[in-house]
Structure 1
Amino acid sequence: MLLSGTGSVNSTTVQPLGGCLAGWTPFENRCFIVRNSPSTFVDAQQICIVLGGNLASIHDENQSDFVRKLIRARFGSNVPAWIGLFDALAEGRYMWTDGSPLDYTDWAPGEPNNNNGTENCVSVSTDNGFPGWNDLSCARSLPFVCSRNRPLPPV
């Protein structure tokens, strides 16, 4: 499983407003994009790497709310979408694909539950549209949220 990427994107496509590429939305020190190309967790992570980032990591309530709002803006409701949290290496030991520390969680009630012993990857929102994180089978195809660091301004 890919954990982190260092893909590059042509810097001439950077938009001056917010320092993010066209199509990405700035928030705090990162840029986010919701992709509506349903993919498995691993494929979604690979696409995010090609785009110069990773599946999104979330570190506080403000970021969690922001990601949910991005998803609602894209789809009109709380649809499940991959974020970069997984425990495929050791059950119950969650980590972010970008290698950042797990310092915040926003599980939906009763989650994570590792239903049928096959749920190792995490989506924002549940299948019934309720907010909160849900562990799911990594083989499911879902839309996904990528994030990347905002480029530093030139000196």
Structure 2
Amino acid sequence: MDNNGYADQYLLPFIKVQDVVCRTSGGTEKCYYIIDKVVNEVEAKTYCSSLDSTARLLSIHSAEEATFVTGLLKGHGKFPADIWLGLEHGAGGYYRWVDGQSSDYTNWMPGWATAFDDDDGQGRPWGDCSRLAVSEDKSYGFWYTDRCEKGLAVVCQVTSSVLVNV
């Protein structure tokens, strides 16, 4: 199968990249690798790093990027589970992207970011990791926190600077 000009790619054994889509915005190119596998968050990070040394779990830094990503995922078809976001709970109660950037844009399910009912016994609902809802229409595109050991689908992204001729 041809994936937008890319041949089928395999990462670790039995992990097949289903699709690769790239876009350029503001002098930066991001390529999104959709992986046909449901894994926990640590395994998801491993799959991404095996793809490329700069590959990370999906991070979303603007409403425009969120619209692009959710459109891309809707076009891909039905997912077996929600998707891991590279947004982790860190020291001081703040969330930080695994690409090192601060949480400059969020799209939590309405009420979710303030619904810290201590479900996990540590002051956070459900856990330290975050997911993007893509498996149910009612919450499609919204973010939730979850337990890192849960099995979710994976989208990795590679970001690179694009040289622009002026």
Q: TM-score range by the shorter chain?
A: 0.7 to 0.9
**Count of matched residue positions in the alignment of Structure 1 and Structure 2:** 135
Q: Distance in 1 between matches of 2:76 and 2:129?
A: 22
How much does 1:125 deviate? 1.2
Which residue matches 1:34? 34
Q: Greater CA deviation, 27-36 or 144-153?
A: 144-153
Q: Does 1:136 align with 2:146?
A: yes
- The code of the aligned residue for 1:135 comes to T
Secondary structure (helix, strand or coil) at the match of 1:116 reads: coil
**8 Å contact kept, 1:72–1:78:** no
Which residue matches 1:125? 133
* Bigger CA radius of gyration: 2
Distance 1:93 1:109, change over 3 A: same
The correspondence for 2:159, drawn from 142, 149, 154, is 149
Q: Greater CA deviation, 75-84 or 33-42?
A: 75-84
Distance 1:78 1:62, change over 3 A: farther
Which residue matches 2:50? 50
Distance 1:85 1:105, change over 3 A: same
Q: Does 1:68 align with 2:64?
A: no
Which residue matches 1:11? none
Q: Distance in 1 between matches of 2:79 and 2:30?
A: 23
Q: What's the TM-score, normalizing by structure 1?
A: 0.73
In structure 2, list runs of 5 or more residues that go unmatched: 7-17, 121-125
Q: Greater CA deviation, 62-71 or 72-81?
A: 72-81
Give per-residue Cα distances to partners, 1:108-127, cap 9 Å, x unaligned: 11223456124111111166
**8 Å contact kept, 1:33–1:146:** yes
More strand by share: 2
Q: Greater CA deviation, 78-87 or 58-67?
A: 78-87
Which residue matches 1:25? 21
Give per-residue Cα distances to partners, 1:73-97, cap 9 Å, x unaligned: 223379511110010x336310111
**8 Å contact kept, 1:54–1:98:** yes
Which residue matches 1:116? 119
- The code of the aligned residue for 1:111 comes to W
CA RMSD of aligned residues (A): 2.9
How much does 1:48 deviate? 0.6
- Structure 1 vs Structure 2: percent identity of aligned residues? 25
Q: Distance in 1 between matches of 2:79 and 2:151?
A: 18
Q: Distance in 2 between matches of 1:136 and 1:70?
A: 23
